[in-house]
Amino acid sequence: MIWGVTARRYHLHMSPRSPAPIALLWGEDAFLLREAALARLGDLRPSEVDAEDWQGGELQDLATPSLFGEPRALVIAGARSLTKDATAELATYLASPDPDAQLVICAQVAERGKVPAALDKLVKPVGDVVHVEIKRKDLEPWLARRADTIGLDLSVTAARALVEILGEEPGRLVAALQQLEAAFHGQRVTPAIVAQQFRGLGEQKVWDMCDRAFSRDLPGAIRSWRSLEEGGDDPLKVLGGVASRLRDLIRVRSLPDRMPPAELAKRAGLRFEWQARRYQQQARHYSMTQLLRLHERAAEADRALKSGASGDTVMPTLVVAIAAG
């Protein structure tokens, strides 16, 4: 297991028995949810489906014995987006689940969000409901353990520098560890090396605001903007981050929806696979027409700011337009 801190948190929610064949994993971070799902399944190779891509019949493979007797497993991502029909199909399966098949349902929630009540009610009688998170105080030790698993010699102070520069998103931090291992294999990674490697990637507050806004988390996006405003960040710089994210999402939206993350990242000009997954999830909240219109609004905001308009009026209006749809 690679879970470290997160695994210990599981024991707060789960009994020592073997994991049930059904589980609802919920939390704020999609990367952690997927990793927790795969760690739970061990050597099984599950089928994976995003709730927004649900066609109907995805559960039939679990209910139908395999011709070759291999174990069956399904991971449902983004479960809060399941339609009424899909939820009814899930309820029918959970009323009499196959004890030899594994089903893991992942539900991402907003900051300080709670377990989705409807899914909790369906799963709790037949399976485990697990809160997946890494608390801020545990993030640096978790990073150090992750570094050990890939053979990266990362000092504690370097782990702290990574969090300070890149922020608290686990997927981004894990990608950074992989980049450091490739670039500095066999070397002791220090804060100076971290700063050198990731100089220019420290606009984390802007990234966080964009993540919340384009994930339709309006309260979180407004809080992020207020934090930027109180910190004295230049509204034009923040707007530049929003415009850059919009351009990335437009490129992602123009590509086939089921394109593998590695290919999507390459074709969309993104740095990491986790980034491609995240942007694909965000782009699905909008049609191409809506994204282009938001880009026009960003251009209008740019003209307004450069003409002397106040950032505390222009930027919240744009953030609300993005996050509230």
**Residue labelled with tokens 């030899």:** 100
Q: Topology of domain 136-198, per CATH?
A: Helicase, Ruva Protein; domain 3 (1.10.8)
Q: What is the spatial distance between Cα 229 and Cα 314, in angstroms, rounded to a whole number?
A: 12
Q: Per-domain residue ranges for the chain?
A: 5-131, 136-198, 204-323
Task: Tell me the pLDDT tens digit for each residue of 214-264.
Answer: 999 899 899 889 888 887 888 998 999 999 999 999 999 999 988 888 889
SS3 126: coil
SS3 29: coil
Show contacts of 93-97: CB within 8 Å, 24+ apart: 93/59, 93/62, 93/63, 94/22, 94/122, 94/123, 94/126, 94/127, 97/21, 97/22, 97/62, 97/126, 97/127
What's the whole-number mean pLDDT along residues 101-118?
Answer: 91
Q: Topology of domain 5-131, per CATH?
A: Rossmann fold (3.40.50)
pTM more than 0.85:
no
Lowest mean pLDDT among 85-94, 134-143, 184-193, 265-274: 265-274
pLDDT of residue 11: 34
Give me the CATH code for the 204-323 domain, please. 1.20.272.10
